[in-house]
Amino acid sequence: MKIKLKLRLLISVTKILERLEIVSPPSVFYICGSDMLPPPLPRAEEEKA
């Protein structure tokens, strides 16, 4: 339940910021959601995939 609540809060914050045109959604998810998302792949692994 906590994860869903956190995600819902993140989405609502993203929508508010989107409306105010302060930042683009991907950067919001990168800043706020970095603790939930896996770390980005190193460039070498990205090229293989």
pLDDT attached to residue 14:
77
Structure tokens at 24: 């683009």
pLDDT attached to residue 15:
82
Threshold 0.85, pTM exceeds: no
DSSP secondary structure of 2-48 = HHHHHHHHHHHHHHHHHHHTSS-HHHHHHHHSTTTSPPPPPHHHHHH
Instruction: Give the residue ranges of the chain where pLDDT is below 50.
Output: none
CA–CA gap between residue 17 and residue 10 (Å, rounded): 11
Helices 2-20 and 25-32, axial angle in degrees (round to 10): 140
- Structural domain boundaries of the chain? 2-48
